[in-house]
Chain A
């Protein structure tokens, strides 16, 4: 049961296509898991449809239809094909990015038993997977920008609430938090940040440029 959803502005940005890649991947992964956000996204796309419908038309060139028919000449409409629905832990948008499921992730230790894997995206925001052992904590940190954390397995708690599978925590610049994984199996999260994290303690801050959180 998903309790923490995406905000309207994030879904609107995703719908319009104006967000950084790291956010897009995380949002596509959450929507794959969450029927409520899928419906909200569909309603925002309906708003896009209404905007398109009401856009003052700009005349096409003469012969545009003939030119388009020439483009599609000899191309019969494609049949419907069933979408990819992988069986593993990662929904398709994330699986495609990792190049496989959990067993394909190349983890690197970042201290305290926590491991991470940075997934390559465009430079405007970063995307990484986090593996936090049961009972383990991610060092206390604040953010310069927005950090989205999507739980894929297990659960964590911080000062604000509990986050289980499918939940998204949206932490703004003001949030200073210490996520702690619940006892039991490791907590695996996908995190997207549009500015580097800021750690509170001196040592983690020195380490930060090296571990690239």
Chain B
């Protein structure tokens, strides 16, 4: 990701593409997009990843998290969901010198989150997927996320504390 941002490295981009494009396509298809449209949008999301790579800050988000936010925004356009403005961004940009320790800690946290997610019973996992990929109203999310989020809440809290520390 950083090689794409700093050196406009096409080989590094190709590696990112082969990993993430099929997952973005899967995400959009789970959201109800037909295969051809999901294909087109996955390419479009990856083109945005290329263009906006300089905004990526590895001490604040992993590549998967950052790409998720781009795919999420594309999904809102695609499915004509209600407009969703972003919060004001923090006034500082990515650090010129990579904070490798923070980036590694964040990656490990996200990996643990992924492991906790994989360990959930199928039904709970599906509820979380539905909250993210489907179209639950906030009331429905309140009724459903209570279950699975309870299980992984400690993981989220951990990630949250780290993020909070990194921002203060």
Binding site for B on A (CB under 8 A): 7-10, 12-21, 23-25, 28-29, 31-32, 35-36, 38-61, 64-65, 67-69, 71-72, 75-80, 82-85, 91-93, 96-97, 121-122, 124, 146
Contacts and interface: CB of A to CB of B under 8 A. Distances in A.
A9 B65 contact: no
A32 B20 CA distance: 29
Contacts of B65: 42, 45-46, 48-49
* Chain B binding surface, main DSSP class: helix
* Chain A binding surface, main DSSP class: helix
B50 A83 contact: no
B42 to A, nearest CB: 7
B141 A28 contact: no
List the 6 closest A-B pairs by CB distance, nearest first: A49-B65, A57-B22, A83-B89, A49-B64, A9-B142, A31-B87
Given A9-B142, A35-B164, A93-B85, A65 B22 contact: no
Contacts, number: 240
A60 B14 CA distance: 13
Residue from B85, B118, B156 with most neighbouring chain A CB atoms (10 Å): B85
A99 B133 CA distance: 32
Given A47-B156, A68-B17, A78-B54, A16 B39 contact: no
